[in-house]
Amino acid sequence: MEEKRPLDGVKILDFTATVLGPTVTRYLADHGATVVRVESMTHPETTRIATPYAGGISGLNRSGYFATYNSGKLSLTLNMRKLKALEIAKRLVEWADVVIESFVPGVMDRWGLSYDEVSEIKPDIIMASTCLQGQTGPHSAHRGYGQMPSAMAGWFELTGWPDGEPVGPYSAYSDWIDWNYLLISILAALDYRSRTGKGQYIDQSQLESAMHFLSPAILDYNINMHVTTRMGNRDSYAAPHGAYRCRGEDRWCVIAVTSDEEWHAFCQVIGNPDWTKERKFATLMARKENEDELDRLVEEWTINLSPEQVMNLMQTAGVPAGVVETAEDLFRDPQLEHRGHFVVLDHTEMGPHSVGTAVFKLSKCPNSPKFAAPLLGEHNEYVLKELLGMSDEEIADLMAEGVLE
Amino acid sequence: MSEEAMAPYRVLDLTDERGLLAGKIFADLGADVIKIERPGGDPARNIGPFYKDVPDPQKSLFWFAYNTGKRSITLNIESCEGQELLKSLVKGADLLVDSFPPGYMDKLGLGYQVLSELNPRLVMTSITPFGQTGPYASWKGPDIVPWAMGCYMWMTGEPGRAPLRISHPPQAYLHASAMAAVGSLMALRYRAMTGEGQHVDVSAQQCPVWMLTHTYAYWDLMKVNLGRQGGWRQFGPTRIRTLWPCKDGYITFMFSGGLIGAKGQQRVVELMDRDGMAPDWLKEIDWEEVDALSATQEALEPITEAFGEFFKTKTKAWLLNEAVAGGIMLAPVNTVKDVAEDTQLKARDYWMDVAHPELGTTIAYPGAPCKLTQTPWRIKGRAPFIGEHNGDIYERELGLSWEELVALKGAGVI
């Protein structure tokens, strides 16, 4: 018998696309929920038509971008321009515990799938909407992707060199914060529903969720009128603190000396050269004042060693350090391997490929994906027949009428 | 009528700065969260910035931000009496969150095995740099270390210069804390099914790795190591500009393929034309036909240059308004000041005023991360002072006498 998972029996109707929504539903699927992704053959979702493709060969069922975010889910294709597709969607609402969508506000309403209508069909439904700036307000129609709330919340301004452009954190950073808050809201709503029988509506503004990871800087402005800005890799409470160039091409190791004890250990590891005894490096405050020079001197030492050597020497001596790992490095990181972070799933068209698993382990239940990502429309028959109880004839008619495209 | 989603739950928060957000999330959802501080106060109280720039453990804005709605007691869990008191509290708790190094709680006789015997329904969630076991489990991991070892730094920054972290605030453990909340909720759900608690083991290093699915999939499937590109992004064979100077700062904007970006890109050209800045060849482009993601670099360069010249003549605010009205996928690069003054956030009543009577003021905090109709997220009150609720818990709940409290205080237990 399969081991129990926390969300066994929970049914999710998933109208999301790209990164944020599909991550939420992947976590739900990994923890036992049945997730039906509603897709479209006429408008395949962005990540299905994006690199990287298995073997470098493009195709709707070959993108690793899609496959990693959608392992363990079922795919149903519906052409929502057809009346019968809307009827199927409404029958799936009856089937579902949670409906989740990530359209620009208004799309679900146009389909007759607003929360009011959905809760008419199923009063205890939990419905979650996520969009850039929320369902209401003058900017609710703002379209886009996760890079945009990252810039609006302030991360671009806070990431970069003091003398350089606000380059921002890589890619759709706010999505990666926001999926936490959407997941938490859904799980809390499920908990509440199981106690009270009441469903509810969840409106996520991606900008509003993301700002929780900036709270100290926001309070600093609201109270002290300080406008925090980028400072490279520097840290107010540590020196040396940064990424240092090592031997090899574009190889780096971070070192963070956060206490006097770690400073002495650091000096010992690098062989106590004379400069470490100078007064200008004796205290944290002194090192902060002479940090440019300090960083140059640290790098004179790291440049002769591989990043792995620097990391091992430092950590063995109790000094925080870590290789700036590349994607390739992740696959040979012994700690990630010990944790079983990557699992290999056998995808129908892509073949075996690696998928990252949840960032937490549960001591009593598994939480890695049960199977690989679906082909586009792979579960049409299963969903219509097994979940909605339709007959073969009905399904054949739907196909002939182009409803399942 | 609104209620609280997590009202029936009691949470013991034994975290330091690496886990405070998890408890805040539960408190804002209505749980009874007890922050257990060492006598003298949690070290995270010394993290700046500070109220009115005065360093004071009762006035850390970092502390304020991530401890709203909690109660605070002081307890030295390294003392025998302290351990007994913690055990008494564990018996009535649903969730315990900690961020100690792996093995620390076991060494004190307070590991999951021991605590689960006292309370089999207890969920214990531990946040560490690398997880509870494994070759790096005992290594140190302040923010920059998991951020580097999770590949995120490799992807951030300018080519030719060092990889970058996000300067402030430290991010890795905020992700780990939020995921600790997710894991805890999963375990509570499992408990509702089976009656059993369990141990949730969160790794900060894995958080950035999860974010970089696209990046690791590139290596896995195509043996390509993507790298940092500054204000640009590599899409297949083309490099696309993502960061653009404008009249009063910067914006982000990215060409998109076919249908997705067509409307917005067409709108930019119309706006350019109004100012006489759209050359004829640009006006002739049918954006539904041009898949900007797979166009050649040669084709993209003049378009990028023309758009760039136009953006330089407009302000962030003007461009944002046009973006919202015209479906342009563009956003301003805001400072915290811009955010504080943002009209959309005000229109949605985002900010939550929290009273700080002792400071004679109220402070606007980031409000509900999501708007829930039935069980809204809500800040119950300001962060607690050191041991502010010792009386509530030790006297009124555990029934200790005033004399016993004095003795425990004298012995440095509370």
Contact predicate B44/B126, CB 8 Å: no
Among B178, B179, B336, beta carbon nearest to A218: B336
Instruction: Give the up-direction half-sphere exposure of residue A165: CA atoms within 13 A in the CB hemisphere.
Output: 22
What is the pLDDT averaged over residues B89-110? 98
pLDDT in tens, A8-63: 999 999 999 999 999 999 999 999 999 999 999 998 998 998 889 999 899 999 99
- Residue B1 scores a pLDDT above 60: no
Is B209 in contact with A341 (Cβ distance < 8 A)?
yes
A68 chain-B contacts, CB cut-off 8 A: 213-214, 216-217
Q: Tell me whether residue A2 is in a domain.
A: no
Is B339 in contact with A176 (Cβ distance < 8 A)?
no
Contact predicate A91/A388, CB 8 Å: yes
Tell me the pTM: 0.98
What is the pLDDT averaged over residues B105-111? 97
Is B363 in contact with A256 (Cβ distance < 8 A)?
no
Positive or negative, the CA dihedral B248, B249, B253, B254 is positive
Model-level ipTM above the cut of 0.85:
yes
> pLDDT class for B256, splitting at 50, 70, 90?
confident
Sheet with strand A34-39: strands edge to edge: A74-77, A34-39, A11-15, A98-101, A126-131, A200-205, B371-372
How far, in Å, CA of A68 to CA of A345, rounded? 10
Residue A212: closest CA among A171, A137, A157, A155: A155
Q: Which of A30, A175, A178, A295 is catalytic?
A: A175
Based on the domain organization, do A114 and A93 belong to the same domain? Answer: yes
Read off the amino acid at residue A123: P
Is B333 in contact with A168 (Cβ distance < 8 A)?
yes
Q: Tell me whether residue A334 is in a domain.
A: no
Numbers of helices and strands, H then E, in chain A = 17, 12
The range of the structural domain enclosing residue A201 comes to 11-213+340-400
Q: What is the pLDDT of residue B293?
A: 67
Among B47, B181, B194, beta carbon nearest to A4: B194
B47 chain-A contacts, CB cut-off 8 A: 216, 237
Q: How far is B73 from chain A (nearest CA, A)?
A: 23
Is B252 in contact with A147 (Cβ distance < 8 A)?
yes
> pLDDT class for B259, splitting at 50, 70, 90?
confident
Based on the domain organization, do A284 and A362 belong to the same domain? Answer: no
A298 chain-B contacts, CB cut-off 8 A: none
Contact partners, residue A117, CB within 8 Å, separation at least 6: none
Q: What is the pLDDT of residue B414?
A: 87
Q: How far is A256 from chain B (nearest CA, A)?
A: 7
Mean pLDDT of chain A: 97
Query: Which positions of chain A have pLDDT values less than 70?
Result: 1
How far, in Å, CA of A258 to CA of A260, rounded? 7
Residue B337: closest CA among B329, B349, B348, B345: B345
Between B300 and A159, whose confidence is greater? A159
Q: How far is A46 from chain B (nearest CA, A)?
A: 9
Based on the domain organization, do A249 and A196 belong to the same domain? Answer: no
- Residue B300 scores a pLDDT above 80: yes
Is B252 in contact with A222 (Cβ distance < 8 A)?
no
Q: Tell me whether residue A6 is in a domain.
A: no
Based on the domain organization, do A203 and A300 belong to the same domain? Answer: no
B131 chain-A contacts, CB cut-off 8 A: 335, 338-339, 361
Label residues A327-349 b or e (16+ Cβ within 10 Å = b): bbbbbebebbeebebbeebebee
Q: Tell me whether residue A151 is in a domain.
A: yes
Numbers of helices and strands, H then E, in chain B = 18, 14
A125 chain-B contacts, CB cut-off 8 A: none
Q: What is the pLDDT of residue B239?
A: 86
Architecture (CATH level 2) of domain B231-334:
2-Layer Sandwich (3.30)
- The 3-state secondary structure of B87-111 reads HHHHHCCCEEEECCCCCHHHHCCCC
Q: Tell me whether residue A64 is in a domain.
A: yes
φ, ψ (nearest 5 deg) of residue A36: -105, 115
Final residue in a domain of this structure, among A329, A355, A370: A329
Structure tokens at A58: 């493009």
What is the pLDDT averaged over residues B252-266? 86
Bridge partner list, A37: A14, A75
Q: Tell me whether residue A368 is in a domain.
A: yes
> pLDDT class for B258, splitting at 50, 70, 90?
confident
Is B27 strand, coil or helix? helix
Based on the domain organization, do A255 and A283 belong to the same domain? Answer: yes
Residues B10-210+348-410: name the CATH superfamily: Crotonobetainyl-coa:carnitine coa-transferase; domain 1 (3.40.50.10540)
φ, ψ (nearest 5 deg) of residue B402: -60, -40
Is A362 in contact with B187 (Cβ distance < 8 A)?
yes
Q: What is the pLDDT of residue A403?
A: 97
Structure tokens at A205: 């503004």
A56 chain-B contacts, CB cut-off 8 A: 221-222
CB pairs under 8 A between A and B: 512
A66 chain-B contacts, CB cut-off 8 A: none
CATH code assigned at A252:
3.30.1540.10
pLDDT in tens, B36-63: 999 999 999 999 999 999 999 999 999 9
Based on the domain organization, do A395 and A352 belong to the same domain? Answer: yes
Based on the domain organization, do A197 and A285 belong to the same domain? Answer: no
Is A327 in contact with B374 (Cβ distance < 8 A)?
no
Mean pLDDT of chain B: 95
Q: What is the pLDDT of residue A2?
A: 80
Count of domains observed in chain A: 2
Based on the domain organization, do A249 and A379 belong to the same domain? Answer: no
A124 is known as an active-site residue? no
Based on the domain organization, do A274 and A366 belong to the same domain? Answer: no
Q: What is the pLDDT of residue B35?
A: 98
CATH code assigned at A114:
3.40.50.10540
pLDDT in tens, A75-87: 999 999 999 999 9
Q: What is the pLDDT of residue B385?
A: 97
Based on the domain organization, do A155 and A74 belong to the same domain? Answer: yes
Is A214 in contact with B214 (Cβ distance < 8 A)?
no
Q: What is the pLDDT of residue A90?
A: 97
Final residue in a domain of this structure, among A329, A352, A379: A329
Among A160, A185, A227, beta carbon nearest to B370: A185
pLDDT in tens, B340-379: 999 999 999 999 999 999 999 999 999 999 999 999 999 9
Domain parsing of chain B, residue ranges: 10-210+348-410, 231-334
Contact partners, residue B106, CB within 8 Å, separation at least 6: B113
Q: Tell me whether residue A155 is in a domain.
A: yes
The number of angstroms, rounded, from the C-alpha of B314 to the middle of its chain's C-alpha atoms is: 32
Is B331 in contact with A134 (Cβ distance < 8 A)?
no
Q: How far is B24 from chain A (nearest CA, A)?
A: 11
How far, in Å, CA of A112 to CA of A32, rounded? 29
Q: What is the pLDDT of residue A257?
A: 98
What is the pLDDT averaged over residues B108-121? 98
Among B69-83, B247-261, B398-412, the least confident range: B247-261
Q: Tell me whether residue A282 is in a domain.
A: yes
How far, in Å, CA of A99 to CA of A186, rounded? 10
pLDDT in tens, A257-297: 999 999 999 999 999 999 999 999 999 999 999 999 999 99
Among B179, B327, B363, beta carbon nearest to A143: B327
pLDDT in tens, B155-210: 999 999 999 999 999 999 999 999 999 999 999 999 999 999 999 999 999 999 99
Q: What is the pLDDT of residue B379?
A: 97
